[in-house]
Amino acid sequence: MELFSLAFFQALLTIVIIDLVLAGDNAIVIGLAARNLPKDKQKLVILWGTIGAVVIRALATLAVVWLLKIPGLLLVGGLILIWIAYKLLIEESDPEVKAAQSTLGAIQTIIIADAVMGLDNVIAVAGASHSNYLLVILGLLISIPIVVWGSTVILKWIEKFPMIISIGAGVLAYTAGKMVTDDRLTRLFFAEQPILKWGLILLIVATVLLAGHYTKKKNQQ
């Protein structure tokens, strides 16, 4: 992918959207972990907890980007991401994170919880990056400050405009479709069948959104 081309910025925008949509749990973790601390300590906890979480997530994402270069793994990652997109639509965010009593304890809680809960984000960003490490780093640098300082705003937006979740799930499903069709095992076939390629991607997006909304509506009855 050519640096700073249209495709580059499209992929970067996809990564930022993925980071923000999947940031709900992270925002809750930050709030819960720091809620018992004095106000003057909370900003410090949010800053260092997020820095630690970002470093671990960046390393994990870069490792997955490298692994996805192996034939077949991009295909598997895409199938996993389809399930993640579906789960995003039907599951309510309810992470069990206890409030910490010390600054260090709160920082550790944020880092550990983010590492455990961040698998969906890592797979999604790795797939959207098209094996471009610069895109991974830029995506994190752009989205993380927004997540940290605007986490409560993001949560309020999601509560007020549920459509944001659907848009995010659609982006994830689109990324999954691209991963499935861009794998080394499938790339040549779909390169010769562009209509089939985009038809499959659109089918994946439509299926995820329809199945997700149907399941959620059924569960609410």
Chain segment 14-57, per-residue pLDDT in tens: 887 777 776 655 665 666 666 667 777 777 777 787 778 778 87
209-to-91, 165, 201 alpha-carbon distances in Å = 13, 10, 13
Rounded average pLDDT over 170-174: 86
Query: Has residue 87 got a pLDDT over 60?
Result: yes
219's CB contacts (< 8 A; 6+ apart) are: 90
Amino acid letter at 156?
K
Which of 14, 131, 116, 110 minimizes the C-alpha distance to 61? 131
Q: What is the pLDDT of residue 117?
A: 58
Phi, psi (degrees; rounded to nearest 5) at 99: -70, 135
Distances (CA, A) of 205 to 25, 69, 162, 170, 200: 23, 24, 17, 6, 9
Task: Inform me whether the pLDDT recorded for 68 exceeds 90.
Answer: no
Residue 201 has pLDDT above 70, yes or no: yes
Helix residue ranges, H only, the chain:
6-21, 24-34, 39-67, 73-90, 103-117, 119-128, 133-160, 163-182, 187-191, 194-220
pLDDT band at 138 (very low <50, low <70, confident <90, very high): confident
Contact 109, 50 (CB under 8 A): no
